[in-house]
Structure 1
Amino acid sequence: MRRQRGRRGAAACTLALALVLTGCGDDGYEPTGPFRPLPEGQPPQVGPPTESTPPPGPGDPADPNSGTSRGDPNVVATGLTVPTGLVVLPDGTAVVGERETGRLLQVFPDRSPAQELMTVPGVDTAGDGGLLGLALSPTFDEDGLYYAYVSTPTDNRVVRFPLGGTPNPVLTGIPRGEVHNGGGLAFAPDGTLFVGTGDTGDPALAQDPASLAGKVLHVDVFGQPVGAGPVYSRGHADVTSLCPALDGTATLFAVDESSAGPDELNTVIQDSDHGWPAPGPTSTGPLFEVPNAEGGLGGCAAAGDAVFLGALDGQRVYVVRTEAGGVPEEPAELIAGRYGRLRTVVLDAEGGLWVTTSNGDGVGTPAEDDDKVLRILPPSATGSSPL
């Protein structure tokens, strides 16, 4: 539920906020060798490969620029093309998806050169569409499956695939537009899937019960509705990211980005209405909101009583406390103004935050080695941090 507010400053990151993270150790990892997923057959493709997205072989090197940058310990990969979705693998490495190419690349916390894994075929990048979100199967150790939220020329959809395999549609028919195409993906502890969509530039769709646009959807791994229907919540402008709380409460947070009002962090529950385009008597207000000039919220990760939010226009990571339902007027911030526009934020098992930059998206001002993947360690109780 959007209400216009004055601009709100952001305080420097404090030690207390970072205490929610534990185990912020070194940047090392123990690679277990290349993962070899089980085959899933040859289900229908998202769309045919094109000249701009031919099917490559797994394991090909990425762009030679996709290495480290000028000795910055926070930078683990450079030279990428609008990295958007990111997942951390069980061995501590990560796989990042590029919005405008559909490429998946493996990146490493020890700053080894990134490795190209595959290109998701049939991705349409018109407007703000493309490869918009990634998630790992809840049984990834057994099946090796990736889930992706992608735009095609006719719809947005969720697909799944093993590395090098053909994408298998899971949920299709999500409305597609030039703007506000959504892209949030998050698995619940019970293995069901939440999907965040956008209103495609038509705000009325967010309140239309017959439309999948402007909603958070709830389905199983086969795309079948959980409960009475797939719509879990409504009244969203553009749900770019979803993140479950990791505190056993089953709380689900949704980032809602808007060009017509403040961006929001919402707590999403079954049948909640978040008031877009106009709040009603039963609308649920935001947990936190940030003005457009400081927002462009594109990613979130939750740990303990803190939620970390990547901000494109704000060029920072906000740290929002959620203890007892209260949010401080002055959220803390990380790496403000250091790397330009920041999008995806993912927490790993060692307490590190993986963050993608988005300076090559046509809005930002890219540096010579943009775009990047960062891995940062928020300040610990001992005060050690590369920030």
Structure 2
Amino acid sequence: MPAVPDAVAARPPRRPRRFRTALAVGAVVAVASTAVLSGCADFSKQDSERKAGPFSKYNESFEVKRPPKTPPPPPEGLPTPPPGPCVDPDPNVITTCLASTAAVTPGDERGDVTVVAERTTGKIIQAKRFSEHKVLWTVPGVDGSGDGGLIDFALSPTYRQDHLMYAYITTPSDNRIVRIAKGDVPKPILTGIPKGATGNLGSMFFRSANELVVATGDAGNPAAAGNPASLGGKVLLVTDFTSGKNPPPKILASGLGANPALCPSNDTIFVADGASNADRLSQVSNNALKTVWTWPDKPGLGGCAVTEGTIAVSTIRTQQIQTLQAPTPQKPTIDKPATVLDKQYGAIGRMRPVGNGLIQFATVNKQYGPKVVSQDDRVVRFLVPSAAGGGESNM
């Protein structure tokens, strides 16, 4: 079996507790080779044989340098667009013709390269504009029915040394976090996250070298979110990365609904989700969810990202990106969100910041969109306007 691809390292963090996006603040700058983990996964066997050796708790996180202060223009000197229905004339579209998407993260410091998960196929793909899809991993055995499948992914903070990748997946029996090493089958790290016909989507990121923050959906059962014995509808802190019988993760907050998306910023964790009576943006504070803003009309929040003090949220049903100014101790109240993108790309799912106002987002038209075009699904590079100023407050 070929080797798992190497990622280009970046400098160690200046602050050990600084939050990072999945895949090392979204940095996969170069890939030397392609590794495909294929075949059917026997998760029952993995569950009974969970020993996979120790995982270093002294991992060193890494990040890439920030982009220049002026957000760069779309890349120049690109090859001639290939013919066919997958070509999108929009210069901000990075890649097209993806299967139904899940997590997305920048693959370089400018945001010209993307790394995106196909939820239904289990593939993690690297691409840039007009390039072919390069499959970095294929996670075997995922159940892509409903809204399950390959939900999220993150590189080990010491990927250069251990070549480990973590994935949040749906199996035939549950949702779980698995660890993947080159030439090996996925090893379970956290199992038993409830699975339902819907409500399986979640989110995760490495907060530090030995802390993985995970947001889990309620699997269509709101009662699970309030049940301390259930892993559903929670923000969890995973600190044991062996595949033996691990202690239960710490619960950072309870009460999440459907499709929770984490968007960390400095020492703050924001999370977007869909509750029974409204969609909402919350802040994890003192082991609880503190509401930042609610959308009673339920536009269907698909993702969120924080960049330059602005929180961007994407919507599925109304096909928008809205922005809010992140609360601060000096200004804890939140002004009415501003719509900065409206129905240009269809239904928008997960988002990740590049830096200095730039984000990447993935469309989810094949799963939710009322209209699917030949280029769907796509990853787009977008400059988020500042949310400073604003209008009414709802706090």
Deviation by residue 1:183-242 (Cα, 9 ceiling, x = unmatched): 111221454011111221221111111111111111125179999852221111125211
**Within 5 Å, which residues of 2 pair with 1:190-201?**
191-201=210-220
- Alignment counterpart, residue 124 of structure 2, candidates 90, 100, 104: 104
Q: CA deviation at 1:137?
A: 2.0
Worse-superposed segment, 152-161 or 350-359: 350-359
Unmatched 5+ stretches in structure 2: 1-26, 46-81, 387-395
Aligned length: 316
- Alignment counterpart, residue 338 of structure 1, candidates 339, 344, 357: 344
> 2:294 is matched with which residue?
289
Among the aligned pairs, what percent are the same residue? 34
> 1:222 is matched with which residue?
241
> 1:155 is matched with which residue?
174
Q: CA deviation at 1:300?
A: 1.4
CA distance in 2, matches of 1:223, 1:307: 34
Decide whether aligned partners of structure 1 residues 289 and 159 sit closer, same or farther in structure 2, where only a CA change above 3 A counts.
same
Q: CA deviation at 1:68?
A: 6.3
Q: TM-score, normalised by structure 1?
A: 0.72
Contact 1:220 1:226 in 2 (8 A): no
Contact 1:46 1:123 in 2 (8 A): no
CA distance in 2, matches of 1:304, 1:226: 37
Q: CA deviation at 1:377?
A: 2.5
Unmatched 5+ stretches in structure 1: 1-28, 49-63, 275-283, 381-387
Counterpart secondary structure, 1:348: strand
Contact 2:237 2:250 in 1 (8 A): yes
CA distance in 1, matches of 2:170, 2:212: 18
CA distance in 2, matches of 1:329, 1:104: 37
Deviation by residue 1:44-69 (Cα, 9 ceiling, x = unmatched): 86589xxxxxxxxxxxxxxx999963
Contact 1:68 1:76 in 2 (8 A): no
> 1:34 is matched with which residue?
32
User: Are residue 368 (structure 1) and residue 374 (structure 2) matched?
Assistant: yes
In the TM superposition, structure 1's runs of 4+ consecutive aligned residues that sit over 6 Å from their partners are 64-68, 223-228
> 1:233 is matched with which residue?
253
- Alignment counterpart, residue 180 of structure 1, candidates 170, 176, 199: 199
Decide whether aligned partners of structure 1 residues 94 and 66 sit closer, same or farther in structure 2, where only a CA change above 3 A counts.
farther
Q: CA deviation at 1:94?
A: 2.5
Q: CA deviation at 1:166?
A: 2.6
> 2:161 is matched with which residue?
142
CA distance in 1, matches of 2:361, 2:156: 21
CA distance in 1, matches of 2:228, 2:28: 48
> 2:106 is matched with which residue?
88
Counterpart secondary structure, 2:342: coil
Contact 1:237 1:257 in 2 (8 A): yes
Q: CA deviation at 1:163?
A: 6.4
Q: CA deviation at 1:269?
A: 2.8
CA distance in 2, matches of 1:213, 1:145: 26
Decide whether aligned partners of structure 1 residues 66 and 126 sit closer, same or farther in structure 2, where only a CA change above 3 A counts.
farther
Q: CA deviation at 1:119?
A: 2.0
> 1:314 is matched with which residue?
318
Q: CA deviation at 1:36?
A: 7.8
> 1:269 is matched with which residue?
285
> 1:203 is matched with which residue?
222
- Alignment counterpart, residue 301 of structure 1, candidates 285, 305, 317: 305
- Aligned-partner residue type, residue 319 of structure 2: Q
- Aligned-partner residue type, residue 347 of structure 2: R
- Aligned-partner residue type, residue 194 of structure 1: V
CA distance in 1, matches of 2:221, 2:42: 28
Decide whether aligned partners of structure 1 residues 32 and 206 sit closer, same or farther in structure 2, where only a CA change above 3 A counts.
closer
Q: TM-score, normalised by structure 2?
A: 0.71
- Alignment counterpart, residue 188 of structure 2, candidates 147, 169, 178: 169
Q: CA deviation at 1:143?
A: 3.0
> 1:256 is matched with which residue?
273
Contact 2:304 2:352 in 1 (8 A): yes
- Aligned-partner residue type, residue 98 of structure 1: E
CA distance in 2, matches of 1:186, 1:226: 19
Q: CA deviation at 1:378?
A: 3.2
**Within 5 Å, which residues of 2 pair with 1:8-27?**
none
Q: CA RMSD in A?
A: 3.3
> 1:347 is matched with which residue?
353
CA distance in 2, matches of 1:372, 1:124: 22
User: Are residue 245 (structure 1) and residue 265 (structure 2) matched?
Assistant: yes
- Aligned-partner residue type, residue 187 of structure 1: F
